[in-house]
Amino acid sequence: MSVAACAVAGPLDLCGQQESEIAEKSLIARQFGNACDTYEGASRLQRLMGEVMLRSLATASEDGRPLRVLDLGCGTGWFTRKLAQIQPSSRLTGVDLSPGMVRKAREHGGAEIDWLVADAEALPLPDRSFDMVFSNLMIQWCADPGPVLAECRRLLKPGGRLMMSTLLEGTLGELVRAWAVADPGQAHVNRFESEPFLKERVAVEMPGASVETKTLRLPYASPMALAGELRQLGAGFKSESRRKTLTAPGRVRKMCRHYPKEPDGAVIASYEAAWVYWRSTE
């Protein structure tokens, strides 16, 4: 979960809310660390998107040789452990910016996995040292995905494989629009890169990579249940432009009233998902 430091508020978006910028790395590491005990129980989206990448691993080790595998932004190590099960002869390294997440990963993971607290933009790992880089829902916390993509390219051996997932602009659009009515001009939702911007960065750093996109829709009992899940993940609003005091209850109630509801009273949150796949030829 690595990001570049940026603490300035952005311009107004089309919904009338101020676009947020990614917060300082230390804040993101701390907030995810605070959520390490509740993260795995709330990670529906994370598991869904990571499983998509696991299904693409059928040809990852056709020759049967052991692989060096990096899980970049490993969090509590859920998918690091899954990768170890799929590739039992391989050597796994899990990296995360949050010491709290890495501490929890060590508690869950076996001795065969190496755990490292590090910034994804400047990894203390040798060039061409990995056969595979797996990164699930980490790069959206970066101010610019380019430096992390460049690090992944540096670390991969010739023929090495990258599998990365992220979220794009439009994610949580229902929540953005409800807050725009309830609290105009104040951002409440993290910003995400546009699809063209991500594809541009990928094309520069990883020529020939494929970018697959899909809208995922998850149901929640209420807008407050959605907000609660985001808190349990440590994925609440992180911009430095956020209010430093609690949002007034009246605004929260107004947001809930304006959040679109299904006929049964449930609410849907949309996530604009993207997966990046690439093989190194260098």
Write phi, then psi, for 183 (nearest 5 degrees): -150, 70
Report the chain's mean pLDDT, rounded to a whole number.
88
Q: Which residues contact 20 (CB under 8 A, 6 or more apart)?
A: 9, 10, 187, 189, 190, 191, 237, 238, 239, 241, 242
* pLDDT tens figures, 186-212: 888 988 999 999 999 999 999 999 999
Q: Answer yes or no: is pLDDT of 70 > 70.
A: yes
Q: Which CATH class is domain 25-55+66-279?
A: alpha beta
H/E run at residue 201: helix 195-205
More confident residue, 185 or 198: 198
Rounded to two decimals, what is the model's pTM? Answer: 0.88
pLDDT of the residue at 56:
86
Residue-level pLDDT at 19: 47
| Token couple for 226 | 């959605």
In this prediction, residue 12 has a pLDDT band, given cuts at 50, 70 and 90, of very low
- For 81-128, the pLDDT digits (tens) are 999 998 888 999 999 999 999 999 999 877 789 999 999 999 999 999
Which residues lie closer than 8 Å to 9 by C-beta, 6 or more apart? 18, 19, 20, 21, 187, 239, 240, 241
Torsion sign over Cα 109, 111, 113, 115: positive
Count the neighbouring beta carbons within 10 Å of the beta carbon of residue 86: 15
Span 172-180, mean pLDDT? Answer: 97
pLDDT at 11 over 70: no
The predicted-structure confidence for 149-172, as pLDDT tens digits, reads as follows 999 999 999 999 999 999 999 999
Residues 234-250: pLDDT tens digits? 987 766 655 556 678 99
Per-residue confidence (pLDDT) for residue 1, from 0 to 100:
38
